[in-house]
Amino acid sequence: MKKLCQIVLIISAIFMFSLLLSGCAKNDNTILAKIGSDKITAKDLNDLFGRSGINFRSFDEEYQNRKMILDSLIIQQLLIQEAYKKHLDTSEEINGIILASNNKFLLDILYQREIIDKIKVTDAEIKAFYDKLENKVQASHILLTTADTAKIVMDSLKKGANFEDMAVRYSIDPSAKINRGDLGYFTWGRLDPTFQEQAFKLNPGEMSEPFKTRFGWHIVKMSNRAPNELRQSYDKMIPTIRTNIENMKRMELLETFKTTVKDKYPVAAAS
């Protein structure tokens, strides 16, 4: 079974939703979020944040890191509540070995049953993935927060606005200020599934209509398509492709399960 640290790392990388962090450094007893009857305090956040030992270049970078950690704590608590809801703590197969690490063990069990056990990869899926590795693409994107903002930016682009300038001005992707939205070359399976579907179907010079992923609203511009010199023979790549597909399915299942538990249990930011 997967360890708790793996679960938290995966969740913190995937699950992002807005919560207020104001005043979290002033009072360790400040309640940052309420999940049903459970609470997450500034102390919980500060304890985990302090272990990173990272020196941040700006207040905004530190804020985003704190928000990511808070999101992971919230999801962790949601999953614990779901584990108790499923009565995993009373299951005959595990109740004999649940000791001080009760919540940790329940998270392991829940993750195994709801995510890992549901991941199946077929030979047809591996072959289809391999076929899509024939080429690599270079693309740029503009990441936006809302559909309305994406429409406004798209209208400007259609009227002749420079894509790179619009990326610098409007994209919420922090790297856009440096790379002007250019993601460089990437191959199939390296990025968000919805994003890569949109990017790979474009021809060089084309732009996508705005579309949504879990990160926000994107507008993608295809720059170039070239042969993927790293693609090896099919037999050699089967293990790597299988792992990639498993990772993609895990991310999709986690996203779906996150939505399910959020609908079941109320999450509120402190007022």
pLDDT, residue 76, reads 67
pLDDT, residue 16, reads 33
What is the distance between the alpha carbons of residues 110 and 9, in angstroms, rounded to a whole number? 16
Helix (H, G, I), strand (E, B) or coil at 81: helix
pTM of the model: 0.58
pLDDT, residue 99, reads 39
**Are 16 and 68 a contacting pair, CB within 8 Å?**
yes
Q: Residue 235: is its pLDDT beyond 50?
A: yes
Pairs from 129-134 (Cβ < 8 Å, separation ≥ 24): 129/188, 129/189, 129/241, 129/244, 129/245, 130/231, 130/234, 130/237, 130/241, 132/188, 132/189, 132/200, 133/187, 133/188, 133/189, 133/228, 133/231, 133/237, 133/241, 134/227, 134/228, 134/231
**Are 73 and 40 a contacting pair, CB within 8 Å?**
yes
SS3 string of 217-259? Answer: EEEEEEEEEEECCCCCCHHHHHHHHHHHHHHHHHHHHHHHHHH
Q: Residue 62: is its pLDDT beyond 70?
A: no
Q: Which domains does the chain have, with CATH numbers?
A: 4-120+248-269 (no CATH), 134-227 (3.10.50.40)
**Residue of higher predicted confidence among 251 and 65:** 251
Q: Residue 10: is its pLDDT beyond 80?
A: no
What is the distance between the alpha carbons of residues 35 and 40, in angstroms, rounded to a whole number? 8
pLDDT in tens, 136-176: 999 999 999 999 999 999 999 999 999 999 999 999 998 99
pLDDT, residue 254, reads 75
φ, ψ for residue 92, nearest 5 deg = -60, -30
